[in-house]
Amino acid sequence: MKNEKPQKSIVGIGSALVDVLIQLKNDQLLEQFGLAKGSMELVDAELSKRILDATASLNPGMETGGSAANTVRGIAQLGGKTAFIGKVHDDAMGQFFKQSFEALTIQPHLFQGSIPSGVAATLISPDSERTFGTYLGAASELSVDDLSDELFAPYDYLHIEGYLVFNHQLIEGILKIAKKNGLIVSLDMASFNVVEANLDFLKQLVNNYVDIVFANEEEAKSYTGKQPEEALAEIAKQCDIAVVKIGKEGSLIQSGAEVIRVPATPVNAIDTTGAGDVYASGFLFGLANGLGLEHCGKLGGLMAAEVIQVLGAKIPDECWPKIFAELQIMQGE
């Protein structure tokens, strides 16, 4: 293997959530709780509890969730050196999140909130459509006052989810500390409505602090008003590496004058939840381990292709041997 350099470490920051995966027998409960099918709606603690109580008999599954947390989990599963900063409560959900990350050798920097841990009730209809009733809980209490130079200094990269951009003071505070401590910052734009609601502020952040930007086609259009190729070129002027994911067409990557098109692996897509998160896992792991940009994009695309074939944002155990075989080939080239 040519890649003998020590790998760099990546810390993620974002909402520490637990996804409770509930297979519905019909859509009656969605109507009962006033949740629009296919939507992601923020709910309060009371409604979250009512949803979980009403579905307890359906044997729900649990996974760690949250965009940056999903990315960090994917990096750890690839064998990367990683950590996560977030906020939970000392309750069953918070313990589940912490123990799940420790089991993957992710260093959890989890502050304790004063309200229950964040939970995303993930209601899966018989036709596989997903509806989210998300209670942010303790995750929403993360503040700049929790953070310090000592927290960020040991790491080489910071990956941050765009959902934090709604809290202007928090996200700018995070980015200032990260840059002060020499971290390379990567930002996932999260959602087109996040971009639209915070456009001017987001552009200021990217120009001043961000080194790597991940956007899908919709987010890139909301950010620039342009189609993928032109959007890519515009974003690349503002940061070191721009990535625009274009679904079945794969992804576009630009760094300086270098433009790379990475085709997608054709698969039967069942659920796109987490595809962007694990694409970032593969890409950042590649960068941290000295892979070229094309291989970073290929690894990201390979992981996204695996996750969209299953329900949920977690790549199944049986898919990893194939991913590792491909990664070994990339590292040998």
In the predicted structure, residue 3 carries a pLDDT above the cut 50: no
Confidence of residue 309 (pLDDT cuts 50, 70, 90): confident
Query: 95 pLDDT exceeds 50?
Result: yes
What secondary structure letter does DSSP report for 135? E
Query: What average pLDDT score do residues 174-178 get?
Result: 98
* Adjacent-strand bridge partners of 40: 132
Which of 31, 3, 44 lies closest to 296, judged by CA? 3
User: Would you say residue 6 has pLDDT above 90?
Assistant: no
CA distance 315 to 304: 9
168-178: average pLDDT: 97
The CATH code of domain 9-15+66-115+137-332 reads: 3.40.1190.20
Tokens of 80: 């990367």
Q: Please tell me the predicted confidence (pLDDT) of residue 4.
A: 54
Task: Decide which of 333 and 68 is more confident.
Answer: 68
Q: Kindly state the DSSP code that residue 263 receives in the 8-state scheme.
A: P
Residue-averaged pLDDT of the chain: 94
Question: Hey, what are 330's tokens?
Answer: 């990339």
Mean pLDDT to the nearest integer, 148-165:
96
Give the pLDDT confidence of 97-147 residue by residue, as tens digits: 999 999 999 999 999 999 999 999 999 888 878 888 999 999 999 999 999
* CA–CA separation, 127 and 134 (whole Å): 21
The 10s digit of each residue's pLDDT in 232-291 is 999 999 999 999 999 889 999 999 999 999 999 888 887 777 889 999 999 999 999 999
- Residue-level pLDDT at 8: 95
Predicted confidence (pLDDT) per residue in 204-228, tens digit: 999 999 999 999 999 999 999 999 9
- Identify the pLDDT of residue 2: 44
Residue that wins the pLDDT comparison between 39 and 207: 207
pTM of the model: 0.92
Question: How far is residue 98's CA from residue 100's CA, in Å, rounded to a whole number?
Answer: 6
pLDDT of 254 reads 98
1 pLDDT exceeds 70? no
Q: How far apart are CA 242 and CA 331, in angstroms?
A: 22
Domain boundaries along the sequence of the chain = 9-15+66-115+137-332
Q: Summarize the confidence of residues 83-96 as an average pLDDT.
A: 97
DSSP output for 278-305:
HHHHHHHHHHHTT--HHHHHHHHHHHHH
Neighbours of 24 (CB within 10 A): 16
pLDDT of residue 323: 96
pLDDT number for residue 128: 75
* Contact yes or no for 279/300 (Cβ under 8 A): yes
- Find the helix or strand (DSSP H, E) in which 205 lies: helix 199-209
